[in-house]
Structure 1
């Protein structure tokens, strides 16, 4: 499939949306195609209202659900204002409230590489608008944290610096076991740097979703069959990562 040579704000067409209830509640869990670098052209500003924020003074288990692949030396915890994913295998930390409507999700993320056992520069990943293939999108079954167990979900997925920091990919899972590849990069501009803090922003608005890094649009997709409701998940595998300053906004 020819996706063209343009990058954001050009939209892709192939084949989300947030009203967030009050979140309450604390614990520690253990267990394509090559494209030109993106421009920094900003989308038209939208009015936004803060719905939820977390500065991770604790890991609130009424708000977040970690799913950690059962491997040794794998933990998820909060420390000094950061959510830390320190795992030898796959891990997903779900925001437990389903989202719908126009929304913007922002957070800061870093992959420390300092010689700790799980340190590996790879897989700054996330799921969004995830839902079971049947149902109304308001419940999500628990899984083990292994990537293959999410194949039957409907969702959008970015894997930034995947495959040991050799690819950055944007996919849609339609809920039938397929992982539809929408866009892909392998140039250094779109891969990871160690110990760098990245400002990540995800927008879902009027059937279009986009993924931004440090103010630059990496991916955008005008979905002819948009995912109307679902869950947001912070995703990684075999690495140590720090997430901070998490915010969810409702957009016009």
Structure 2
């Protein structure tokens, strides 16, 4: 009897673990897809999955209390070193620390995603010294960029870098309403979706950007991006998206 109960418990535990690795994601009223966990990092061990680039010396990226803590004295990008392939869902929690510290500044919860260097056939650009953490160093890349609470927390912007050195932005992707900006010491749950032509960015289940890209960027790297800031990230997850079979 005890053996039978143990087996049932093990099967139920396995079921729960598997359930945590898959879920459904609603992209719009007519499109729901399956999400299967591909990568996760709760920052309980080390930063072996991450590579930081600082504009000037003195910035710090470390694990503190089970979170990745970024202290950026100027521009800073922290790349996830796994190469991602769409369709993909990226999720994480971020907190902008505002406790009176010298770099505590509620601003610039930014990110790059699906980033590639069109001049680097092997896509090893994140390992080169050419990208020194300054924002302009990334202009040559192809990528999507969201700058939430940029310019001292006065605007939230979305851009698609074409890899030519330009940074075009549509007028409707420059949002200044307070509901799109940041509040210190609160959790921002970010969700990014790249599914076929659909590019979406959510914060706390609020859809902020919903971009239809006729020529979507379908592979590349993800990176946390900030400047002159103090923040934490946690519960980073990447899901592979697929069509639900009927």
Same fold (TM over 0.5): yes
- Structure 1: runs of 5+ lacking an equivalent: 1-40
* Residue number in structure 1 paired with 2:105: 120
* Residue number in structure 1 paired with 2:47: 60
Whether the 8 Å contact between 1:66 and 1:93 is mirrored in structure 2 is yes
* Residue number in structure 2 paired with 1:192: 182
Q: Which has the higher strand share?
A: 2
The CA RMSD measured in Å over matched residues stands at 1.5
- Structure 2: runs of 5+ lacking an equivalent: 1-25
Whether the 8 Å contact between 2:27 and 2:33 is mirrored in structure 1 is no
Between structure 1 and structure 2, the one with the greater Rg is 2
* Residue number in structure 2 paired with 1:164: 152
Name the stretch that deviates more: 41-50 or 209-218. 41-50
**CA–CA distance in 1 between the matches of 2:135 and 2:46?**
23
Distance 1:136 1:46, change over 3 A: farther
* Residue number in structure 1 paired with 2:200: 210
Distance 1:203 1:136, change over 3 A: farther
> 1:137: how far off?
6.4
* Corresponding residue SS for 1:148: helix
> 1:42: how far off?
6.0
Q: Normalized against structure 1, the TM-score is what?
A: 0.80
**CA–CA distance in 1 between the matches of 2:86 and 2:145?**
18
* Residue number in structure 2 paired with 1:175: 163
* Residue number in structure 1 paired with 2:96: 111
Q: How do residues 1-40 of structure 1 correspond to structure 2 at under 5 angstroms?
A: none
**CA–CA distance in 1 between the matches of 2:122 and 2:160?**
16
Q: Normalized against structure 2, the TM-score is what?
A: 0.82
Does the alignment pair 1:101 with 2:89? no
Whether the 8 Å contact between 1:137 and 1:229 is mirrored in structure 2 is no
> 1:220: how far off?
1.3
Whether the 8 Å contact between 2:40 and 2:238 is mirrored in structure 1 is yes
Aligned length: 210
Whether the 8 Å contact between 1:104 and 1:201 is mirrored in structure 2 is yes
Structure 1 segments of 4+ aligned residues over 4 angstroms from their partners: none
Distance 1:144 1:156, change over 3 A: same
* Corresponding residue SS for 2:169: strand
Q: Deviations over 1:21-60 (max 9, x none)?
A: xxxxxxxxxxxxxxxxxxxx96343111100100001332
* Residue number in structure 2 paired with 1:236: 226
